[in-house]
Amino acid sequence: MSDVPKTDNRSHRQGIGEATQVVASLWFSVGKETLSVISLQAAKSHRNERIAVNVLRGAAVFVIFAIAVLIVYLAFEGTKTFSVDKFPVWKFLFSSDYDPGNNLGGSAVFITGTLLVTGFAIVVGGPFGIAVGVFLSEVAPARMAQILKPAIELLVGIPSVVYGWLGLTLLVPFLRTHTSSPSGFGLAAAGIVLSIMILPTVISLSEDAFRSLPVSLREGSMALGSTRWQMITGVLLPSASSGLTVALILGIARAIGEALAVQMVIGNSSQFPRGIFAPTASLTTEIVIDMGGAPQGSFQEHVLFSMALLLLLIAMALILLVRFALRGRG
Amino acid sequence: MIDVSPGSVDIREKLNAIHLNVFYGSFQAIKDASLKMAAKTVTALIGPSGCGKSTFLRALNRMHDLTPGARVEGEVTLDGQDIYAPDADPVVIRHRIGMVFQRPNPFPKTIYENVAYGPKIHGERDKATLDATVERSLRQAALWDEVKDRLNRSALDLSGGQQQRMCIARVLAVEPEVILMDEPASALDPIATSKIEDLIGELKKEFSVVIVTHSMQQAARISEYTAFFHLGEIIEFGTTTNIFTRPREKKTEDYITGRFG
C-alpha cells in the first residue's frame, strides 16, 4: 500500500485526460459501492501500470520487428546476386570487373575504396582525437574543458552534407593547387573529410575513457615522482586501452558508413586509386550513385544490395568488437 | 601551549612542517600545524575521522597540487629545504618522498612492470639493473617469495594484502628517503595487516616513515613518535610511550581511552 499515494499523485499531474479517468473511476466506484475508495485507487494504479508496461513492451517489439525485417530483407535481396544470378561470391569480393550491364559484379574496387578511406580517417583522425581527449581530460583547465566538451559534442550533430560541402569548396580546390592531383577529388580528400567527421566521436569517447580512470592511478604514478606526461603515457594510456579501442572502433563505424560527404569529394571513379590523391569509389558512394538508375530486379540492383549487406555485416562485426573490448574492462 | 613547539621534543628531523595550513576552497582543513618528523623512525598520526591527518600527510609530498581547489600555506622542509619554495620541483620532491595509499592502487600491468615503473620513469633502462631493483624491492616488501614465479602476471590478480605490499615495493624501487603511508592496512585483513606492520618495522631501519592510522594499537605497536590530530589541529605530539601512557592534554586522553572518536 505504501506506494499507492505516490502513484496517485503522479496521475494527478498528468492532466485533464487523466483527471477524467479519475472522475470516471470514482463514479464507477460509487456504482459498485462494495469497494472502498482506497482499494479502488490501488486497482486503478495497477491498471495504469499494466498499460504502461504494455505500451513499452509494444514499442520494444515494434523496434525489434523493424530491425529484424530490415536485416532479413537485406540478407534476402543481398544474396540474390549469388543465388539467383549465380555470380560467385569470391568474384564479388575480389574481382574488379564491374559492369553490371554485362553481369559483372566484381566490387573489389569499392571494398578497397571503403577500406582505404576508413583506414585513412582512423590513422589520421584516431591519434589526433585521442590526443585531444587526453588534453581535455588531463591537461586543459577545468573551465576550458567545460566549454570545449559540449562544443565538440555539438560537432557530432553537424549534417554530413555540410562536411561534404566544405570539403568540396575548401579542401578539393586546395588539393588541386597544392598536390599532384589534377582535380583535387580523390582518396585524400575523402580521407581528410572523414578524419574530421570522426574527430568528435573519438575525442568525446576517449575523454570519457580517461575521465573514468580512478584518481588512485594518477596519484600512484605522481607519488612515484612521475611527470604528468610520464603518467599519461606510462599509466593512463595503457589503463584506458579498452575505452580507447571502443572510441576508435566507433570512429571506424562512423567513417565506414558515411556516404554523402565521401561521395561529394572522392571523385567517383570505378578504379583502384593510383595514388593517395587519385579518385576512386567506395561501397557507400557506389550505392548512392547507382541506386537511382538500377532497374528493379536487375543484376545491378542485386549487386548493390550485396554491397549494402556487406556494409551491414561490417557494422555488426564492429559492434561485436566493441562488446568484446568492453568485456575486458570487467 | 602544545608540545610541538620547537625544542620541546628533541628530534633530529628529516621532515619539518612549520605553521602549515591547508584549505579546500574556503574550508580550512589544517590549522597552523607544526610537526617534526625524525629520520629513520616511524611517526604515527592518529585522531578521529575527519580530523585532517590524511590531509596533513598529503601536504608532505605536495599531493594537494593534484587536487583542484586545495591550497597549502606554510612550510614543509626536507633536510632543511622548503618543498613549497617557488623553485622546488614537485616531481623531484615526490621522488624523494614516496607515498603508499589507503587502498592498494596497482597499475593494470604485470607485477614486474608495476615495480619497474618508478625506476624506468627516472631513467633506468638497463634490463639487468631493473631486474635487480625489482627483486630487491619485492624482497624488502616481503613479497618476493610469493610472486617470484609470476612476475609477468597481472598485478590485479594478487590479493589485497599482496597488492598493498607490491605498492610498497613500487615505492621502495625509486629509493625514496621518506615514505608516507595513509592508513596502509585499513582495507586489509588481520594477517595481511600484521605483515604490513612487520614490514614497517623493517623499513624504518633505512627510511623515515610517517603513517596515518585509525588504529591506536597499531600506532602503539609500530611508531616511536605519535601526533594526535583533532579538528585540523595537532593537539599533542610526543614519544608514542608518553602519548599513550602519560597524555598531557585532556582531549588526547579522552581519545586514547576511547571516550570519543
What is residue A136's DSSP assignment? I
Q: CB contact, 8 Å: A235 with chain B? A: yes
Chain A: residue nearest B115 by CA? Answer: A224
The pLDDT of residue B11 is above 80: no
3-state SS, B24-69, equals ECCEEEEEEEEEEEECCCEEEEECCCCCCHHHHHHHCCCHHHHCCC
CA dist., res. A306 & res. A320, Å (int): 21
Residue given cell 615514505 in the structure block = B179
Q: State the helix-helix crossing angle for A142-155 and A187-211, rounded to 10 degrees.
A: 140
Burial of A256 (0-12, 13-18, 19+ CB in 10 A): buried
CB-based contact, A328 to chain B, within 8 Å: no
Statement: residue B1 has pLDDT above 70: no
In this prediction, residues B135-144 reach a mean pLDDT of 93
Q: Tens of pLDDT along B198-250?
A: 999 999 999 999 999 988 889 999 999 999 999 999 999 999 999 999 999 99
Contact B16, B32 (CB under 8 A): no
Q: Consecutive 10-residue runs of chain A (330 residues): their mean pLDDT?
A: 40 45 50 54 72 92 95 94 92 91 91 94 95 93 90 88 94 91 90 94 94 94 94 94 92 91 91 89 92 89 95 90 73
Task: Give the global pTM.
Answer: 0.79
Smallest CA-to-CA distance from A243 within A150, A157, A137, A145 is with A137
Name the residue type at position B181.
M
B225-230 and B42-46 strand pairing: parallel
Rounded-to-integer distance, Cα B76 and Cα B79, Å = 10
Name the average pLDDT for chain B: 90
Name the residue type at position A193. Answer: V
Give the CA angle between residues B8, B214, B222 to the nearest 5°: 60
- The C-alpha atoms of residue A192 and residue A171 are separated, in whole angstroms, by 9
Find chain B residues with C-beta within 8 A of A227's C-beta: 91, 121
B197 backbone dihedrals φ, ψ, rounded to 5°: -65, -45
Q: Is A237 on the interface with B (CB under 8 A)?
A: no
* Cβ of residue A225 closer than 8 Å to a chain B Cβ: yes
ipTM surpassing 0.90? no
Residues of A in contact with B101 (CB under 8 A): 216, 219-220, 223
Cβ-defined contact of B63 to A218 (cutoff 8 Å): no
- Across the interface, of B92, B94, B109, the residue whose CB is closest to A223 is B94
Ranges of each domain in chain B: 6-104+176-256
Q: CA torsion sign, B60 to A236 to B170 to B229?
A: positive
Give the pLDDT score at B219.
93
A222 touches chain B (CB under 8 A): yes
- For every residue of A192-214, DSSP letters joined together read HHHHHHHHHHHHHHHHHHHHTS-
* Among the partner residues A142, A216, A235, nearest to B101 by beta-carbon distance: A216
**Chain B contact set for A218 (CB, 8 A):** 66
Q: Contact A233/A166 with Cβ under 8 angstroms?
A: no
What pairs with residue B70 in β-bridges?
B24
Q: Say yes or no to pLDDT of B177 above 60.
A: yes
How many CB atoms are located within 10 Å of the residue A166 CB? 17
Q: Give the tens place of pLDDT for each residue, A22-58.
A: 444 544 444 445 555 566 666 666 778 888 899 999 9
For residues A295 and A288, give the distance between their C-alpha atoms in angstroms, rounded to a whole number. Answer: 14
Q: Which residues in chain B are closer than 8 Å to A239, comparing Cβ atoms? A: 107-108
- pLDDT at position A164 is 94
CA distance A186 to A120: 12
Q: Mapping DSSP to helix (H, G, I), strand (E, B) and coil, where does residue A140 land? A: coil
Q: Which of B91, B92, B124, B166 to mutate to test the interface with A (most CBs of A within 10 A)?
A: B91
List the 126-165 stretch of A: residues with Cβ below 8 A of B. Answer: 142
Per residue in B79-124, pLDDT (tens digit) is 989 999 999 999 999 999 999 999 999 999 999 999 999 999 999 9
Using the beta-carbon criterion (under 8 Å), do B109 and A238 form an inter-chain contact?
Answer: yes
pLDDT for res A154: 86
User: Looking at CA atoms only, how far is residue B28 from chain A in angstroms?
Assistant: 22
Residues A224, B118: C-beta atoms closer than 8 Å: yes
Q: Which of these CATH numbers, 3.30.365.10, 1.10.3720.10, 1.25.40.10, 1.10.510.10, describes A89-329?
A: 1.10.3720.10
**What ranges do the domains of chain A cover?**
89-329
**Contact with chain A for residue B94, Cβ under 8 A:** yes
Interface check B69 vs A, CB under 8 A: no
Bridge-based pairing state of the strands B81-82 and B225-230: unpaired
Nearest chain A alpha carbon to B64? A219
User: Which positions in chain A touch B99 (Cβ < 8 Å)?
Assistant: 219, 223
- The per-residue pLDDT for A319 is 87
Q: Residue range B34-40: average pLDDT?
A: 92
Task: Tell me whether residues A235 and B117 touch, CB distance under 8 A.
Answer: yes
Mean pLDDT of B174-190: 91
Can you give the pLDDT at residue B155? 94
CATH level 2 (architecture), domain B6-104+176-256: 3-Layer(aba) Sandwich (3.40)
Confidence of residue B258 (pLDDT cuts 50, 70, 90): confident
B122 shares contact with chain A (CB less than 8 Å): yes
pLDDT of residue A41: 61
* Nearest partner of A279 among A172, A152, A198, A200, judged by Cα: A172
> In which residue are the cell numbers 618508478 written?
B118
CA separation for the pair A296, A142 (Å, rounded)? 57
Burial classification of residue A25, based on how many CB atoms lie within 10 Å of its CB (0-12 exposed, 13-18 middle, 19 or more buried): middle
